[in-house]
């Protein structure tokens, strides 16, 4: 807004300044008017006071004109006794009346006697014929005058009256009696006032003031004739009367006395200025308050507008959010549907995999059985051939009548068939599709696996060393599957050492912490690096077709993992491979 309306702001500022100036003017005007009124009241009290002071002594010289001592003195000015009596009388009256001085002049203006005759600046012998009051009294009128005493240098108000030769008014004038009154007392009452108060004569000359430097200054420049007159009457003892400078034009005035005097009061400008300042400040404060209120109102309105706008925006946002939520929900529902479909197909796949795995295990077993077929046939052929030979011999012994020998042979036949039964029993258990979970003696499982491969090891002239103590290590699991793994590992070891110079396989059982550990070491060539990476992959084989399917280790590993075990392969430092089968031991006390 500020940038938008610089003109508006400027005019507002000007208006404010104008208002402040107007307040200033009104304030000073009012204060001045008040002060003038107050001053006027003050003067209305002062003027009569002064008037009465002057009036008080008005009759004193008139009465003195009829005093015999004065008339005597004028009649016999050379008589010292008469003059002494006059001086004494004048002194007494002066003291009683509390006036400045009383003195008597002859018709030439020479002072014959005075109340201050014996003082250094006494009037006796002085001539006052040049004073206007003397002239007036000499002509039978009352003389009034204000001026500085030529001998005493003290200012005063002089009142003079004629003294008649024969003591009767209207007769010939013998001399003039004058009374000098000091106005100092009166001026002293003004001292307490802060405002300049002056008493000015009819020329506009200030002769009394509570401001010392204002005395004997004129309110306006004096005319030529006036200056001449003042020089003649020596009214102000030859003081050069300069115009008063720097006084205020605002004053109140009141006429006083019979000489055209004016008493004047100049109200102090500082109070007027202070009042003006107060009004201007008040106006400024008021304007500031108004401006602040306007600003606050504007802010409030703006805040309300903002609040409304943000409320609207919020509503809009809420609506948008609603739309978005609906859309998202729709999307989520679709995604959920999709996921459910995927989950269903995954379940299907898992089911398929599981059955495939079972079938694979079974296939692995059958493959192994196939591989073992030659060995098993050989294993079965031996006792069978023995049985045949024992049976043939037994028949010969019976024909010869050697019954005890025939019985011995029959016993051998029983042993051989028992052995065959054992072989077949083993195979039957191995070929069974699903085993059951039970406690398995690992040493027994190793013996049984080794037994199934025994003829193979013999045929290939491979030494099989078993290091396992019966009943020492028991695990929980499916015995058939464990045997399947062991047979696999033994079979691989046998294959590995078949072409080697030194042919030995060691199978060992031990406890290792919380695990049962079966290790199968062979003296074969070990596992080449490129083979190691694929060892447990299904259908990975290095053997010629017909001999290896590449399923043995893959199936073994999955069987072991299903039992929470681990199957790992390493190469031995002195050559040959080492396979380790780890199965968890049952928890203690379980």
- Give the interface with ligand ADP as residue ranges (CB under 6 A): 488, 492-493, 496, 522, 524, 527, 531, 535, 540-543, 548-550, 552-554, 577
> Of 335 and 499, which has the nearer Cβ to ligand ADP?
499
CB of residue 540 to ligand ADP, shortest distance in Å: 6
Phi first, then psi: give them for residue 494, nearest 5 degrees: -60, -45
Distance CA 554, CA 320 (A): 57
CB of residue 482 to ligand ADP, shortest distance in Å: 16
Structure token pair of residue 79: 């008589």
Q: How many other C-beta atoms lie within 10 A of the C-beta of residue 26?
A: 15
CB of residue 578 to ligand ADP, shortest distance in Å: 8
Structure token pair of residue 171: 């007769």
Half-sphere CA count of 515, side-chain side, radius 13 A: 14
CB of residue 555 to ligand ADP, shortest distance in Å: 8
> Of 12 and 460, which has the nearer Cβ to ligand ADP?
460
> Of 151 and 523, which has the nearer Cβ to ligand ADP?
523
Of 238, 247, 151, whose CA–CA distance to 197 is shortest?
A: 247
CB of residue 567 to ligand ADP, shortest distance in Å: 11
> Of 490 and 516, which has the nearer Cβ to ligand ADP?
490
Strands (E), 446-535: 463-467, 474-478, 504-512, 515-522
CB of residue 541 to ligand ADP, shortest distance in Å: 3
Distance CA 213, CA 540 (A): 135
CB of residue 502 to ligand ADP, shortest distance in Å: 14
> Of 299 and 499, which has the nearer Cβ to ligand ADP?
499
> Of 398 and 531, which has the nearer Cβ to ligand ADP?
531
CB of residue 582 to ligand ADP, shortest distance in Å: 17
> Quick check: 473 and 583 in contact, CB under 8 A?
no
> Of 433 and 543, which has the nearer Cβ to ligand ADP?
543
Distance CA 179, CA 147 (A): 13
CB of residue 546 to ligand ADP, shortest distance in Å: 10
Of 587, 590, 585, whose CA–CA distance to 511 is shortest?
A: 585
Q: How many other C-beta atoms lie within 10 A of the C-beta of residue 216?
A: 18
CB of residue 377 to ligand ADP, shortest distance in Å: 20
> Of 138 and 493, which has the nearer Cβ to ligand ADP?
493
> Of 269 and 571, which has the nearer Cβ to ligand ADP?
571
Of 248, 281, 126, 255, whose CA–CA distance to 201 is shortest?
A: 255
Q: How many other C-beta atoms lie within 10 A of the C-beta of residue 301?
A: 10
| Distances, alpha carbon 6 to alpha carbons 2, 11, 154, 230, in Å | 6, 9, 70, 67
> Of 436 and 530, which has the nearer Cβ to ligand ADP?
530
Strands (E), 226-346: 242-243, 252-256, 261-265
Q: Which residues contact 431 (CB under 8 A, 6 or more apart)?
A: 365, 366, 369
| Distances, alpha carbon 16 to alpha carbons 9, 272, 273, 356, 552, in Å | 10, 22, 20, 99, 106
* Alpha-helix residue ranges (DSSP H) falling in 501-586: 529-532, 552-562
């Amino acid at each position: 807004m500020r940038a938008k309306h610089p003109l508006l702001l400027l005019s507002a500022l000007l208006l404010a300044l104008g208002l402040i100036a107007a307040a200033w003017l009104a304030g000073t005007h009012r204060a001045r008017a008040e002060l003038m009124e107050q001053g006027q009241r003050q003067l209305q009290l002062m003027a009569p006071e002064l008037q009465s002071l002057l009036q008080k002594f008005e009759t004193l010289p008139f009465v003195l004109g009829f005093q015999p001592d004065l008339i005597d003195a004028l009649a016999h000015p050379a008589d010292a006794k008469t003059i002494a009596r006059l001086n004494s009388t004048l002194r007494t009256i002066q003291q009683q009346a509390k006036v400045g001085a009383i003195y008597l002049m002859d018709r030439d203006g020479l002072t014959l006697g005075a109340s201050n005759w014996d003082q250094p600046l006494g009037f006796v012998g002085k001539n006052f014929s040049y004073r206007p009051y003397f002239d007036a009294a000499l002509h039978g009128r009352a003389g009034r005058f204000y001026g500085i005493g030529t001998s005493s240098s003290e200012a005063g108000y002089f009142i003079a009256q004629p003294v008649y030769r024969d003591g009767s008014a209207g007769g010939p004038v013998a001399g003039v009696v004058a009374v000098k009154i000091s106005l100092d007392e009166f001026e002293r009452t003004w001292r307490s006032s802060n405002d300049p108060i002056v008493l000015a004569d009819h020329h506009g000359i200030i002769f009394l003031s509570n401001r010392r430097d204002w005395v004997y200054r004129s309110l306006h420049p004096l005319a030529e004739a006036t200056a001449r007159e003042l020089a003649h009457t020596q009214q102000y003892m030859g003081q050069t009367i300069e115009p008063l400078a720097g006084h205020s034009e605002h004053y109140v005035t009141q006429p006083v006395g019979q000489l055209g005097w004016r008493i004047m009061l100049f109200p102090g400008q500082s109070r007027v200025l202070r009042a003006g300042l107060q009004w201007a400040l008040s106006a400024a404060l008021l304007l500031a308050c108004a401006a602040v209120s306007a600003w606050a109102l504007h802010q409030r309105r703006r805040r309300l507008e903002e609040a409304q706008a943000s409320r609207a925006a919020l509503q809009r946002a809420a609506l948008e959010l609603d739309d978005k939520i609906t859309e998202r929900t729709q999307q989520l529902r679709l995604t959920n549907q999709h996921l459910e479909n995927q989950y269903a197909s995954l379940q299907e796949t898992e089911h398929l995999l599981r059955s495939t795995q079972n079938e694979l295990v079974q296939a692995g077993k059958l493959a192994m059985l196939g591989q073992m077929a030659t060995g098993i046939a050989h294993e079965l052929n031996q006792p069978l051939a023995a049985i045949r030979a024992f049976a043939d011999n037994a028949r010969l012994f019976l024909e010869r009548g050697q019954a005890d020998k025939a019985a011995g042979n029959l016993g051998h036949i029983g042993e051989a068939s028992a052995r065959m039964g054992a072989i077949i029993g083993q195979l039957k258990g191995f070929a069974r599709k699903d085993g059951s979970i039970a406690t398995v003696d690992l040493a027994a499982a190793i013996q049984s696996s080794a037994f199934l491969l025994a003829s193979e090891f013999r045929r290939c002239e491979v030494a099989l060393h078993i290091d396992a103590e019966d009943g020492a290590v028991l695990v929980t699991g499916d015995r058939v599957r464990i045997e399947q793994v062991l047979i696999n590992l033994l079979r691989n070891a046998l294959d590995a050492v078949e072409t080697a110079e030194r042919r030995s396989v060691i199978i060992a059982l031990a406890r290792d912490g919380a695990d049962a550990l079966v290790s199968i070491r062979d003296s074969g060539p070990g596992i080449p690096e490129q083979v190691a990476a694929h060892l447990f992959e299904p259908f990975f084989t290095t053997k010629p077709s017909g001999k290896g399917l590449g399923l043995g280790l893959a199936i073994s590993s999955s069987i072991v993992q299903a039992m929470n075990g681990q199957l790992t392969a390493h190469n031995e430092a002195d050559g040959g491979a080492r396979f380790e089968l780890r199965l968890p031991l049952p928890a203690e006390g379980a």
